[in-house]
Amino acid sequence: MSTLFADSDHPPRIRRDVATAGHQPNSWLVRLDKLLSYSERMHQRADLRAVADEPHLLADIGVTREEALEQADAPFWR
């Protein structure tokens, strides 16, 4: 015969710190995601600048040289 040691009269306790109530716990992930997107955008624009003098590559992606350079010169935060 086995004995059940679970007490079903009390709900499980969930620890909630009063200081963190209403605080978004993963806000640093949002900032990290933004930094990574900025970095990716800078690399994409550098690559676009590198192919601006290759007409066949520009035709493959469907942009003109002027459009490529305009996009490559835009700030990374936009």
Q: What is the mean pLDDT of the chain?
A: 78
Residue 18 belongs to a domain? no
**What confidence score (pLDDT) does residue 12 get?**
57
Number of domains in the chain: 1
Distance CA 32, CA 10 (A): 40
Domain encompassing residue 49: 27-72
Inside any domain, residue 59:
yes
pLDDT at 16 over 80: no
Q: Is 4 buried (19+), middle (13-18) or exposed (0-12) by CB count in 10 A?
A: exposed
pLDDT value of position 8: 54
Give domain status of residue 36, yes or no: yes
What is the rounded average pLDDT of the residues 50-71?
93
Give residue-wise pLDDT tens across range 59-69. Answer: 999 999 999 99
pLDDT band per the 50, 70, 90 thresholds, residue 22: low
Instruction: Round to whole Å and give the CA distance between 39 and 37.
Output: 5
Q: Would you say residue 19 lies in a domain? A: no
Does the pTM exceed 0.85? no
